[in-house]
Structure 1
Amino acid sequence: MDLKQRIKEFIDIQYQSPRGILGLFVGEKMVLQHRRETLWTINLLKLKKEERVLEIGCGAGYAMENILAQPNVQFVVGLDISKSILRSARIRNRRAIREGTAKLLLGSVSDIPLDNELFTRVFSIHSIYFWDITPETISEIYRVLKPNGTVTITLCNGKNGETWTGIQNMLEEKLIPLMLQMGFKDIKILKGPNSRKFHTVAVFGEK
């Protein structure tokens, strides 16, 4: 393996699970890169009274910070597989954590360390690329949602007018069929804003 390939693999690992000082930098870089689709996703949640929200792959906690600023939110949990990135999220949301309206957890979407039917909203932004999309993973999301709760999964499916067939096939042939199998209803793909020439979409479903 040449140096260029090793560097690329190292950077890819940092985006999947940021580590150390460089991981903190990557986390803040992702906040800047993904701000537009993050705010779009929060708007899609249509937050009402006493919402309890779970973010899967919370990163540096920017989305959590914005959600916690809204009056209809009761409690927000951020879940991530990276200890380094959770440090950034903890700093960004330290007041809410101290007041008991926010919590951060180290863990994976395939084994969410939380009780059944806790959340009215579950969402994720740019983390599905790193999931094992299996019945167990989708059932975990379904399990932690309250009846009539919703899931919103935001990702990119193309760039510069070109659709990435691999991502699109994953949505249409794997993710959505598994969501239907688990019992989600009103499933749809919503088109979002272009961000840095990437095409943003969100997969929405209701329990």
Structure 2
Amino acid sequence: MFEQWLGKQLRSPRGILSKWIASYMETGNHDINEWSIQLLDVQPYDRILEIGTGGGAALSRIAEKLETGKACGIDSSKSMVKRSLRRTRYLREEGKAEIKHGYAENIPFEDRVFHKVFSVHTLYFWTDPDQALKEIYRVLQIDGTVFLAVHLKEQMKKSKKTDDFTLYSEEQIRHLLEKHHFREINVHMYKNYCCVTAAK
């Protein structure tokens, strides 16, 4: 019962325990976030979008590396957006960060504004992955790169909290990206993590 409740909260934290959920995710995602940031190879001028900012830990780390660039983030949970806004206040004041409430299927940014778009552990929750990838393609600049970091299907099936998740294999992610005209698809593995990257 607890595992199923936790799974629903991970999808979109809300309520009085949302702070605890945010801390739980931040601790649990620390390694994969750090690895994903390394893969992003952040440049001082980069404009980067994170889909699913959670409490803003990864986005803050990225924004601190920027000079003329900007780290933007969206999250479907209003509780997480508020938490991210508090965490990134000084970075936003410096013009290095921006946080909005939003969904992968309807990204609240204009066309071709990002060099890189990344997402850690949110692919499972997208209600319409085809529409989400269309949106990612739309907001990426030509030659921009998407980074999708996940636990793979066989690993995730072992936990009851993932009963309501949509799980993906490496090949399924690759197929989705090919379907939406992404190219130069590569698969990176680290510990139990997988990150599939592709260029527009």
TM-score by length of 2: 0.88
- Within the candidate set 177, 199, 203, 2:196 is matched to 203
Q: How far has the Cα of 1:73 moved from its partner?
A: 6.0
Q: CA deviation at 1:48?
A: 2.2
Residues 52-131 of structure 1 aligned to structure 2 (within 5 Å) = 52-71=47-66, 74-131=69-126
Q: 1:132 aligns with which of 127, 132, 146?
A: 127
> 1:178 pairs with 176, 179, 182, which one?
176
Question: How far is the alpha carbon of 1:133 from its aligned partner?
Answer: 4.4
Tell me how far apart the structure 2 counterparts of residues 176 and 132 of structure 1 sit (CA, whole Å): 18
Match of 2:42 in 1: 47
The percent of aligned pairs where both chains have the same amino acid is 30
In structure 2, stretches of 5+ residues that fail to align are 159-165
Q: 2:33 matched to which residue of 1?
A: 38
Q: Distance in 2 between matches of 1:71 and 1:178?
A: 31
> For the aligned residues, what is the CA RMSD?
2.1
Deviation at 1:49, TM superposition (A): 3.9
Aligned-residue offset at 1:155: 0.7
Q: How many residues align?
A: 192
- Distance of 1:31 and 1:150 partners within structure 2: 24
Deviation at 1:177, TM superposition (A): 1.9
Offset at residue 113 of structure 1 (A):
1.2
Verify the 8 A CA contact 1:123 1:152 in the aligned structure 2.
yes
Which letter maps to 2:183?
K
Given candidates 141, 147, 162, the residue that maps to 1:146 is 141
Between Structure 1 and Structure 2, whose CA radius of gyration is higher?
A: 1
TM-score by length of 1: 0.85
The answer to whether the 8 Å contact 1:189/1:203 transfers is: yes
Q: Quote the Cα distance in structure 1 between the aligned partners of 2:147 and 2:68.
A: 17
Structure 1 residue runs of 4+, over 6 Å off? none
Cα offset for 1:142?
0.5
Counterparts of 2:102 and 2:155, CA distance in 1: 30
Determine whether 1:12 maps to 2:7: yes
Q: SS of the residue aligned with 1:116? A: coil
Unaligned runs of 5+ in 1: 194-198
Instruction: Provide, for residues 100-159 of structure 1, a one-character-per-residue CA deviation record: whole Å limited to 9, x for no partner.
Output: 221111111011111000100100011111013432221101100001110101111254
Greater shift, 45-54 or 132-141, is seen at 132-141
Q: CA deviation at 1:98?
A: 2.1
- Alpha-carbon offset, residue 179 of structure 1: 1.4
Q: CA deviation at 1:71?
A: 3.8
SS in 2 for 1:135: helix
